[in-house]
Structure formats: C-alpha cells, structure tokens
Amino acid sequence: MISMNTILALLFSAGVSILLPIVLIIIWRKKTHAPLLPFFTGVAIFIIFALVLESLCHQVVLKLPIMSTSVVAYILYGGLAAGVFEETGRFVAFKWLLRKHNGRESAVAYGIGHGGIEAVLLVGLTMINNLIMAFTLMNHGIEGIAALVGTEVANSIAASFASVPSVYFLAAGVERIAAISLHISLSVLVFFAVQRGRKALFPLAILLHAAVDWFAMLYQVGIIRNIWLLEAGVVVACLVIALLAIRIYRSEKVPSDTAYAEEMNMSEEE
C-alpha cells in the first residue's frame, strides 16, 4: 500500500524540480529584465557538456581497472569530472556564446537554466513517473502496473515502494533546491572569471563543484550512510558557495547589460 507520506514526498520533489526553475526565471526577469537567451543557453550547455560529453568520458574512464579497485580514485574522478565538464561549459557560454550579454544578471539567468534543466531531467521526470506508478498501484494494484510495464517490472516497482522510505523521495527535492542554488552561484563565479577578468574564479568553481559532488560520491560508496547527513553536508556547502557568489555579485556596482555596455563604451572613448 502506498502511504500518503510517499505521495506528498513525490509531489514535493516533482514540484520543486519542474516548477521552481520556471518560477525563478519569471521572478528574475521581472526584477532585472534579464534576457532569456542566457537561460536557454544554460539549458543547452548542460545537455551538451553534462549529458553528452561527460557521459562519453564516463564510458571510457569508468572501464579503467583503477576505477573498480580504488575507491579514492573513483570518488575523485566522479567529482572532478562533473566540475570540469560543467564549468568548462559555462566558460564556453560566457566566453563565446553570451559575449554580448555582459551584465551580471545574465549569469543568474544562465544558472537557472543550467540547474533547472538538470532538475527536470534527473529528478522531475523520474518523480512524475513514480507518481504515475504510485497512483496506478493505489487504484488498480500490481495488475494495473503489469498492464503497462509487464509483471516482472510491476513486482519490482511495488517492492520498491514498499521498501523505500518516503524521506528518500523528499530528500530528492531538498537536494534539487540546493543544486539549483549551486548552479546559479557557480555561474556567477565563472561569469566574473570570463567577463570581468577574475581568472582565479574559474578553477575555484571547478573545485567547489567537485567538492559538493564528493558528498554524493561518499554516499554512493557507502562511507556516508545517512541520507540526511548527506543532504545536510550538501546544503551547508551550497550555502557557503552562495554567500561567496552573492559577495562577488554585489562587488560590482553596474546593474545591467545596458549599463555595463555604456560604461565600457565611455571607457573606450576616454
């Protein structure tokens, strides 16, 4: 039997993963008049650099013997791969694709797109599928699911709902809130590295991204066993990175693409 806690947890995580990015970009555009191109560029860059290029790299590197014999190598690689590929994607976006969108608000719009599409594809769609299966199980039993996916898979799905605590589904939504915050923060760091010449922020973004992912890697290999200890570590790390990004963002007095372009033109004329 599916508990109401499980249904609520699934609804929460699905809602956060799908609706939060939409709400954020609407609010951000209303507040800053940020263009939409950085948002959609963030979507595209995540798909290309994380889902395609990083996945291709995994297919090669994870087959190396050291990946199955050394936990340290596996953890280090898992975090650094995400950091290198995704932050390089941001670098490419701000260096070449968004050169004309040189106001700091574009960095936030990009981060919402990058983190938002990750939330939708990695968690949102999964939670929607889980909700469909859960409601089907509640209303039609295993036979209803079996009609959709076959008896063997239906039994596996029913067993999963029976054995997985609802807090695990809830944790997925909490993690997405932290992850979207992280992607916005890292986008600010890389933006300032590229567009404002603060070059040290780019390798820093890679290391900070890797450090957050190392929490997940530690949980994956069983070193961290408590799901809420994992989420606490991720949330605290993302909060610290967000505070750093806010400080960097506020260090610039120029508020918009237009204002920054005008200031640069005045400097060139002088």
Least confident of 13-27, 34-48, 157-171, 203-217: 157-171
Give the tens place of pLDDT for each residue, 127-171.
999 999 999 999 999 999 999 899 999 999 999 998 999 999 999
265 pLDDT exceeds 70? no
Instruction: Select from 137, 140, 132, 135 the least CA-distant residue to 156.
Output: 137
Query: 32: domain range?
Result: 4-269
Residue 182's pLDDT is 98
> Whole-angstrom Cα distance, residue 183 to residue 242?
9
Residue 268's pLDDT is 46
Q: Is the CB of residue 42 less than 8 Å from the CB of residue 119?
A: no
Task: Choose among 141, 170, 143: nearest CA to 1.
Answer: 141
Number of domains the chain is built from: 1
CB proximity list for 232: less than 8 A, separation 6 or greater: none
Which are the contacts of 93, defined by CB distance < 8 A and separation ≥ 6? 38, 41, 42, 45, 110
**Overall pTM > 0.85:** yes
Does the pLDDT value for residue 121 go beyond 50?
yes
What is the Cα–Cα distance from 157 to 133, expressed in whole angstroms? 8
How confident is residue 261, by pLDDT bands cut at 50, 70 and 90? low
DSSP code, position 104: T
What confidence tens digit (pLDDT) does each residue in 70-109 have?
999 999 999 999 999 999 999 999 999 999 999 999 999 9
Contact 50, 118 (CB under 8 A): yes
